[in-house]
Structure 1
Amino acid sequence: MRKSHRFKHIIMVLLVMALAFVTAACGDSDSSKEKKETAWDKIKKDGKITVATAGTLYPASFHESKTDKLTGFEVEVVREMAKRMGLKVDFVEMAFDGMLTSINSGKVDVAANDIAITDERKEKFSFSTPYKFSFATAIVRKDDLSGIKTVKDIKGKKAAGEATTTYMKIARKYGADEVPYDNATNEQYLRDVSSGRTDIIINDYYLQKLALAAFPKLNITIHPDLKFNTRDEGVGMIMKKDNTELNKHINRTIQEMLDDGTITKISKQFFDGDDVTKKPDLKY
């Protein structure tokens, strides 16, 4: 009898231990599920997507002079995309150099600011389907072309821009002296070239074309003989590398907007009738 009682006691202890183990395992499983909440899950739950943009890059991202409303090609593409995804948009304005850090830290979900898709960036980040294609040109002084006849003359000239852009990379390639700016307005960039504080701005052709039209009295022009292949895959939104689900939803929506002509319509509104969704046919 005693042996039977002892055996039953041992069985009960083992059952209790097994139950405790299963409960603990379930608890770990639940905890694991909580930890696996994706960026897309959080965005859906909050009902909004947080997007970094400059707010100073005409016509991609700028404030209307009369209303101070944030608008521009990139801004309106994001707004329409978010609308189709059933989300609100929270724009956070910052310099380009801070956008990539903010993506990695989780401060923002996406950045949209005329950001070129390059192999170097794709190693660290994910990009949306491209929705803008262009090439690079150079703004110089109108009266003397800033002393630049060919790309060889760029060496030693003062190039304005943000340090981590593909355009500053081109300037460095040709030996220019960097003059870095932190989210400056187009007007400041252009006035500095006009006055001689800097000599050259290498940037997107469409942006430069409109910048000249906005400030016709300044002593600036697009250099007639300089065109640069940025060797990128177009412009897209940039996000964290592992946000695959978010990337999938953004890509699907962007492709819909390209297919139905919505992005072309937005492009023509902000780029003086030009359709930037088409690749330019140029020889460099």
Structure 2
Amino acid sequence: MKKLFFAKKGSIVAGLVMLSLLSACGNEDDTASEETTTAWDDIQEEGSLTVATSGTLFPTSYREEGSDELTGFEVEVVRAIGERLELDIEFTELGFDEMLTSVQTGQVDLAANDIEITEDREENFIFSTPFKYSYGTAIVRSEDLSGIETLEDLEGKKAAGASTSVYMETAREYGAEEVVYDNATNETYLRDVAIGRTDVILNDYYLQTLAIAAFPELDITIHPDLKYSPSEVGVVMNKDNEELAENVNRVIEEMLEDGTIAEISAEFFNGADATEKVDIEE
């Protein structure tokens, strides 16, 4: 159409008439071309969800000894979500901090790795309907509880964990020295406490109890008196992916109602139902 502006003077009127006719005929197509596809449309077209998880967080996301198959509480919850949405699940294994960045930049569709719902995170992400409720505990050395009686005693202690986790935020709040690992295994975290390289691991009750049980040879225990920060966990999605969140929430709520997630919880949390809300005195 730019050629009209370079046409000879005698042809301008005819060109404008033709342009008018073409515009009238093209209104419907132009409107259609302006319709944008959503992330949910793309996901449905591709037939799959890309999911960030660590692969090293027992029993949420891990591999059983001698197996290459990824499993765990949230891994299986996500697989059940995919089945109900008729989508394949493609897992990408990342460190905790990388997961949130990848969701934010659209490299993955969601993240599932025992990520607690907080007000700060809700400003930047969409969380699904919660499907796991818990509270914070502390792993310490058995012989002296790492010299910790209350959260105030964390001051000056070496606390191990992911730098952006809510538990590390608690450690910093009480003056602990943070020791950060890059997607390390549970055994590394636990052994370092046992040998005194670090003093404490603040984390979720269910994860802590099972981690302790997995390594009975280590001289560590869950602190008998520290219970704090009731928590809710859901999968994490990009702030703009509202339609994806609606569909994920729909099937999560179905699975909470029919007991599917409770059954998965029992499998990975030694019979416990982590979908039940907890009430603790802080």
Structure-2-length-normalised TM-score: 0.92
Number of the residue aligned with 1:4: none
1:61-80 equivalences under 5 Å are 61-80=61-80
1:160-196, CA deviations, whole angstroms, 9 ceiling, x for partnerless residues? 0000011101101110001011111110000000011
Which residue of structure 2 aligns with residue 32 of structure 1? 34
2:264 maps to what in 1?
266
* Whole-angstrom distance in 2 between the partners of 1:175 and 1:214: 30
Q: Which residue in 2 is equivalent to 1:217?
A: 217
SS at match of 1:133: strand
Give the structure 2 partner of residue 133 of structure 1: 133
Aligned length: 273
Is 1:18 matched with 2:20? yes
The aligned counterpart of 2:6 is none
Equivalent residue number for residue 252 of structure 2: 254
Per-residue deviation, 1:147: 1.1
Whole-Å Cα distance in 1 between the matches of residues 236 and 153 of structure 2? 34
| Residues 139 and 221, structure 2, Cα contact 8 Å, conserved in 1 | yes
CA distance in 1, matches of 2:269, 2:34: 48
| 1:32-51 correspondence to structure 2 within 5 Å | 32-33=34-35, 36-51=36-51
Tell me how far apart the structure 2 counterparts of residues 31 and 156 of structure 1 sit (CA, whole Å).
61
How large is the Cα RMSD of the aligned pairs?
Answer: 1.8
**Code of the aligned partner of 1:14:** L
Counterpart secondary structure, 1:224: coil
1:281 partner letter: D
The Cα of 1:68 is off from its aligned counterpart by 2.4
Q: Which runs of 4+ in 1 moved over 2 A?
A: 8-14, 19-33
Structure 2 residue 246 is the aligned partner of structure 1 residue 244: no
Structure 1 match to 2:207: 207
Give the secondary-structure state (helix, strand or coil) at the position aligned to 1:189: helix
1:171 maps to: 171
The 5-angstrom pairing of residues 80-99 of structure 1 reads: 80-99=80-99
Contact 2:157 2:199 in 1 (8 A): yes
The answer to whether residue 260 in structure 2 is matched with residue 282 in structure 1 is no
**Partner Cα separation in structure 2 for residue 177 and residue 9 of structure 1:** 79
Q: How far off is 1:15 after superposition? A: 1.8
2:227–2:280 Cα contact (<8 Å) kept = no
SS of corresponding position for 2:104: helix
Partners of 1:168 and 1:22 in 2: CA distance: 62
| Cα shift at 1:152 | 1.8
Q: Percent identity?
A: 56
Whether contact under 8 Å (2:61, 2:74) holds in the other structure is: yes
- Segment drifting more, 142-151 vs 191-200: 142-151
- For structure 2, list consecutive stretches of 5 or more residues without a partner in the other structure: 1-9
Q: Is the 8 A contact 2:228 2:280 kept in 1?
A: no
- Matched residue, 1:152: 152
Please identify, of 129-138 and 100-109, the stretch whose mean Cα deviation from structure 2 is larger: 100-109
State the AA in 1 paired with 2:81.
M
SS at match of 1:160: strand
What amino acid maps onto 1:267 in structure 2? Answer: S
1:11 to 1:141, Cα distance in 2 relative to 1, 3 A: same
The alpha carbon displacement at 1:14 in A equals 3.4
**CA deviation string 1:112-141 (max 9, x = no partner):** 000111111111110111000000000001
Q: Within 1, Cα distance between the matches of 2:149 and 2:204?
A: 20
Q: How does 1:91-130 map to 2 (within 5 A)?
A: 91-130=91-130
Q: Aligned-pair distance for 1:20? A: 4.4
Separation in structure 2 between the aligned mates of residue 60 and residue 9 of structure 1, nearest angstrom: 72
Tell me the secondary structure at the aligned position of residue 226 of structure 1: coil
TM-score (norm 1): 0.92
Amino acid at match of 1:175: G
